[in-house]
A and B are shown apart, each in its own frame.
Chain A
Amino acid sequence: MEEKKTSPGASSPGNPTPAQPADNQYTQWYEVKAGDTLWKIAKQVYGDGSLYNNIFKANQDTLSDPDKIKVGQRLRIP
């Protein structure tokens, strides 16, 4: 799995989002590929798919459903 430091994807400024640390140069980003799920990403990054909720929570400004991620979407990886 490749974690990249890229600029964040489109945000939804109109949506209320839970408080989270502001993005900075050390924010880690992952670009969703075909066939990815949050579980798979968590398994790759953390070694444990059950920790997917950490990724979901860190991306609630752009994700409303953990099962709905899009190819090319950039996700914060806490």
Chain B
Amino acid sequence: MKSRSAFAAFLSLVFAAALLAGCANQMEPAKKAITDIEAALSAAGPDAAKYVPDQVQAVTSQLSDLKMKFDQKDFKGVIAAAPALLTQAQALAGSAGSAKQAAEAAHAAALQALTAEWTALSASLPAAVSAIESRVDVLSKSKKLPANLDAATFDSVKSGLADAKSLWGQATAAQAAGNMEQAVTLAKQVKAKADAALTALGMSAG
């Protein structure tokens, strides 16, 4: 009886040792799998974080789960889940590259559209402002305003002209500084003021 019990204890020890050895055998591959995923994530670089943040977040989150499994010594679980996550992490660089390319193309197209808008506005607005200024200069010398223009409207035209000139200065400065978006926004404000003044003065643009 005693020898049977000793044998059972021996078997338990052998089993436990085998179990431990098995675990140890799986720990290194699991650790390497995690390291590989981290390396792939790191290789994706800052472009991935900038252009595919959701995908980076998904990989990071799954990697945390994997590390948790590793800490819980679920090496088998780590090894089972790692290949898919590694593939996902390795795809990040490609996805980021494509997204970056698309973003750059969109930016270039937007810049091209802004440049075209600026070209059109800058070709016409100085002439509009100049025409308004010329008319305002003459009307300012008039002893009596024409029938279609009252004093309040004329004052508003003068004020609008001053605003338009100031805004145009800001627009050209923004364009010179390379801020095309702001330049076009300001130029559109100039156009609105110039159009209002032209209408108030009974002037037309062809």
Contact = CB atoms under 8 A, between A and B. Distances in A.
A47 B131 contact: no
Interface in A64-78: 77-78
A46 B138 contact: yes
B131 A26 contact: yes
13 contacts: A3-B204, A21-B134, A24-B124, A24-B127, A26-B132, A28-B131, A28-B204, A46-B146, A47-B146, A48-B142, A48-B144, A50-B143, A78-B138
Lowest 3 A-B CB distances belong to which pairs?
Answer: A26-B131, A5-B206, A47-B146
Which of A3, A28, A44 gathers most chain B CB within 10 Å? A28
Interface residues of B, number: 24
Contacts, number: 61
A27 B149 CA distance: 19
B146 A3 contact: no
Nearest to B149: A47
A26 B128 contact: yes
